[in-house]
Amino acid sequence: MQEQWTHIPILAQEIADLLLLNPHGVYVDGTLGLGGHTKFFLSKLSPNAKIFGFDRDTQALAMAQERVSDERLTAVHASYTQAGKVLKEAAISGADGALFDLGLSSYQLDNPARGFSLLRDGPLDMRFDITAELTAEKIVNEWGLAELERIFVEYGEERNFHSIAMAIMAKRREERIDTTFKLKNIVEQVVRGRGKIHPATQIFQALRIAVNDELGAVEKVIDTLPDIIKPSGRAAVLTFHSLEDRLVKQRFKELVSGGGWKLVNKHVIVPSYEEVRANSRSRSAKLRIIERI
């Protein structure tokens, strides 16, 4: 059953070239997912290297451990924001490098039971950590109008935020909005035609970010980079939408201006034409890397 999901690591060679400077080092994979990046990295590292792989998704962790099947990997069920704490508890003063891949894994996106995709009907869930209490269903059915509008604007950059929020409020008085298709249908009735982009895409993005506090997690991990990365070590962040990329760009700029850090790439790195053709999900990826000095 597990083999139906595949994960193609994005910009894997570029990240390895810029991040894995010490073949014997300790590295952090901030979002282990199905282990694609970690497996590729381990193929480039020495037998005594170590990777600490973090993920909030217990199901993905189990699959990653099975697929990577390497004693150099330590899989940790926790947010990557806990990386500094975990390294300290393991008596490791800092990592030589860390990757924070902020994208969804194919397993999460393609599994209708997780509720991330508007292409497949399923429960309106969207939790990375299935033990967490907050779900997209809870937000859509229980949060007030102002809060719905706020997340649609801030996290989805949705210009029809008011009309969509009002339509949700009206519909939930008739029945509970508990599936992805119910929500998708509501948005379709308000917003029509956006070319190749489905009109509900930004609403689904906004809900996912709110459910998992994704931007808050990015802020926190950048704040704690001094606890994660040792001097001469590097941190790479792979983003998939403009909100994340703007946030990372700004926070990296602040770190550099504060001293002790330098940008490895002044201009964002994006996948090649060939990679996008081979893996369409890589098309929006942007890579930024910073080094502790």
- pLDDT category, 3, cuts 50, 70, 90? very low
Least reliable range by pLDDT among 150-154, 194-198, 204-208, 285-289: 194-198
Residue 174 belongs to domain with CATH number: 1.10.150.170
pLDDT of residue 2: 42
Q: What's the mean pLDDT in 95-119? A: 87
Q: Within this chain, do residues 101 and 25 fall inside the same structural domain, yes or no?
A: yes
| 112 found inside a domain | no
pLDDT of residue 36: 93
| 228 found inside a domain | yes
pLDDT of residue 1: 35
Q: Within this chain, do residues 207 and 251 fall inside the same structural domain, yes or no?
A: no
Q: Within this chain, do residues 171 and 247 fall inside the same structural domain, yes or no?
A: no
Of residues 103 and 76, the one with the higher pLDDT is 76
User: Which residue, 184, 213, 242, sits at the end of a domain?
Assistant: 213
Q: Within this chain, do residues 208 and 219 fall inside the same structural domain, yes or no?
A: no
User: Which residue, 213, 239, 267, sits at the end of a domain?
Assistant: 213
How many structural domains are present in the chain? 2
The residue type at 106 = S
Question: What is the C-alpha to C-alpha distance for residues 265 and 161, in angstroms, rounded to an integer?
Answer: 36
Which structural domain range is residue 94 located in?
A: 2-107+215-292
Of residues 270 and 107, the one with the higher pLDDT is 270
**Over the stretch 136-181, which tens digit does the pLDDT of each residue have?**
999 999 999 999 999 999 999 999 999 999 999 999 999 999 999 9
State the DSSP string of the chain: -GGG-----TTHHHHHHHH---TT-EEEES--TTSHHHHHHHTTS-TT-EEEEEES-HHHHHHHHHHH--TTEEEEES-GGGHHHHHHHTT---EEEEEEE-SPPHHHHH-GGG---SSS--BS---SSTT-S--HHHHHHHS-HHHHHHHHHHTT--TTHHHHHHHHHHHHTTS---BHHHHHHHHHHH----TTS-TTHHHHHHHHHHHHTHHHHHHHHHHTHHHHEEEEEEEEEEE-SHHHHHHHHHHHHHHHHHSSEEES-SS-B---HHHHHH-GGGTT-EEEEEEE-
Q: Within this chain, do residues 220 and 197 fall inside the same structural domain, yes or no?
A: no
